[in-house]
Chain A
Amino acid sequence: MVMKKITKLLMTACIAMLFLSACGPKEQKIYIVSTNDMHANIDNFPQMAALIDSLRIAHPGLLVFSAGDNRSGNPINDRYTEPSKPMYELMNAVGFNLSTFGNHEWDGGPAALRNALNWANFPFVCANVVFDDSLQMRNVYPYAIFNLDGLKIGVIGGIQLGENGLPDFHPKNANGSHFYPLNKVLQMYINELDECNAMFLLSHCGYEEDREIAEQFPELDAIFGGHSHTQVAEKQLVGNVMITQAGAKVKFVTLSTFTFRDGKLVDKDMQLLSIKDFPKRDAKVQAMVDQYNSNKYFSTVVTTNTTPVESYESLGCLMTDAIRYTTGSDMGFQNPGGVRFDTLSVRPITLKDIFALDPFDNEIIAFTLTGQEILNLMKSCFTTDRGPIYCSGCSYKYKVSDEGELTDLQVTLDNGKPLDLNAKYNIVMNSYMSSVFDYEHEDDGHTTFRTSNELMLEYLASHPEIDYGNTTRVTEE
């Protein structure tokens, strides 16, 4: 009898609990790992994979996003037989669910981008780009919707545009890609996602622009950002929009947590997690990385040297010729410190040689300078200990007094005429020179969005043999 009563009481209690549970607020959490600007730093992938796996065990249904610039920064990936394939195979292995485009996704041109989209096992979102049908870009959408345990999560993608209306890449790579200001199209997609339980922006616009977007579009719940390589270490809200960004180069990921009560987003939080501090490495991903790094790619012959080189200047001439000819400029300049060896025997030249000659691989900057300003540039080198700069498109003679003062400098153009101090010339130099050489000039210059090694390899592609052993363009009298 007593047992019957107890059983009845227990059953009543259970039914009451079930009823209360069904009637009480239902709390759900979703977890998103986001990173950005990985720039093909594949060496950190084994730790990132292990970290994300551990998070996935703790939080099944975890989503993993990239806010763009997956490539560009590591020749092992960028100059792989099929450029960028290593990155996408690794991102697939880690289990990325979504990416937006960074400006560097266009660095290999439309064909390379199309290949990347085909290799990725996940979609790309970008609301402010439209591709010509002829490019056959697949796997790209303005936004994606994830259904997680009954919650609809909308994620819109977006990319920054520079003053020329294009993302920061070489304009020739834009062929067939049409860009629109993100703030002009965002509202339309926000309206389309109105019924979602949460709405996010996966942004490659940079932190400052993300803040402006957050002010303009308070309907967004969070922005997972990229482009400015900003480490957002603590929760930051603009209005009620949470903005995150995880530095760059696979050093960090952001773990964002969103709490819903009865389908309504009631709380959001984030943590910046260090990848290098994570104690485990994923063995499968490590094996993939090891295989990519052991690629014989660096042994690829790119030209053959036909005369022995024994001076920095000769190789400086090669470097300046490369940036000058490939950019169609009148002159090219190179700082001596950027030429990293001075001896080259008669032999095939490999990619390894090229990257050793110029490990900095700086962007090349274009200027329009008067002859006088070019003279100012050349003379500025004598006021420091940098030494005379190397050049293409001209040669020069200089005199230095016993006290080390420059007393004369005469520049002759390749056509045999002297430099016209009043004429304007299109010239190129690397971004280091552009930043640190102090000389009087008007034009601030602009990036060509191309790097020195990229231009060198383009130059050598049409020069199966090089002969710089006896080349000299700078003479001290």
Chain B
Amino acid sequence: MKAFVNDTEVRTYYGAKVKSVVLAYYRANNLPLNLKDIEVKDAYGNTIDLDGSLRANSRIYVKF
């Protein structure tokens, strides 16, 4: 499925959790696969848990 991390399109498997989408974003951008001390927000500015469920085309934002 398609999702957006920091407004960059990411493709991952259907049913992916936030963590998987963030990891796919890291991979696509050659970033270190570090999930510690990151903050993930949804499109409305709410903090979301790495195990949270995502719908296709969701937009999330990662702060390192």
Contacts and interface: CB of A to CB of B under 8 A. Distances in A.
17 contacts: A37-B52, A208-B42, A208-B43, A227-B53, A229-B53, A230-B42, A230-B48, A230-B49, A230-B52, A231-B47, A232-B46, A435-B13, A435-B20, A436-B27, A436-B33, A446-B15, A447-B13
Nearest to A437: B27
Interface string B8-42: 00011111111111011011100001000000001
Nearest to B49: A229
Nearest to B59: A208
Contacts of B48: 207, 228-231
Contacts of B42: 207-208, 228, 230
B64 interface: no
Contacts of A209: 55
Given A435-B23, A436-B26, A446 B53 contact: no
Contact of B52 (A163, A248, A434): A248
A229 B18 contact: yes
Contacts of A435: 12-13, 16, 19-21, 23-24, 27
Contacts of A367: 13
A233 interface: yes
Contacts of B23: 432, 435-436
Contacts of A447: 13-16
The 3 A-B pairs of least Cβ separation, nearest first, read A229-B52, A229-B49, A447-B15
Given A163-B14, A446-B13, A208 B51 contact: no
Given A168-B53, A435-B16, A435-B20, 13 more contacts: A163-B14, A168-B15, A232-B46, A233-B46, A248-B52, A431-B13, A434-B13, A434-B20, A435-B21, A436-B27, A438-B27, A444-B13, A449-B15
A259 interface: no
A230 B47 contact: yes
A208 B33 contact: no
Interface of B: 1, 11-21, 23-24, 26-28, 33, 42-44, 46-49, 51-55, 58
Nearest to A206: B53
Interface in A73-126: 73
A228 B53 contact: yes
Interface residues of A, number: 39
A229 B58 CA distance: 14
Interface string A422-449: 0000000001101111100000111101
Contacts of B13: 365, 367, 431, 434-435, 444-447
A427 B46 CA distance: 36
Nearest to B10: A435
Contacts of A438: 27-28
Interface of A: 37, 39, 73, 160, 162-163, 168, 206-209, 211, 227-233, 236, 245, 247-249, 363, 365, 367, 431-432, 434-438, 444-447, 449
Contacts of B58: 208
Contact of A206 (B11, B19, B43, B55): B55
A229 B20 contact: no
Given A207-B44, A434-B13, A436-B27, A248 B51 contact: yes
A249 B52 CA distance: 11
Contact of B47 (A208, A247, A432, A444): A247
Nearest to A236: B44
B15 A248 contact: no
B14 to A, nearest CB: 4
A358 B29 CA distance: 28
A206 B51 CA distance: 13
A231 B46 contact: yes
A37 B27 CA distance: 28
Contacts of A230: 42, 46-49, 52
Nearest to B15: A447
A362 to B, nearest CB: 9
Contacts of B49: 37, 229-231, 247-249
B54 A228 contact: yes
B14 A446 contact: yes
Given A207-B44, A431-B20, A435-B23, A228 B14 contact: no
Contacts of A168: 15, 53
B51 A229 contact: yes
A444 B26 contact: no
Contacts of A236: 44
A228 B53 CA distance: 5
Contacts of B24: 435-436
Contacts of B14: 163, 444-447
Contacts of B33: 436
B52 to A, nearest CB: 3
A228 B19 CA distance: 12
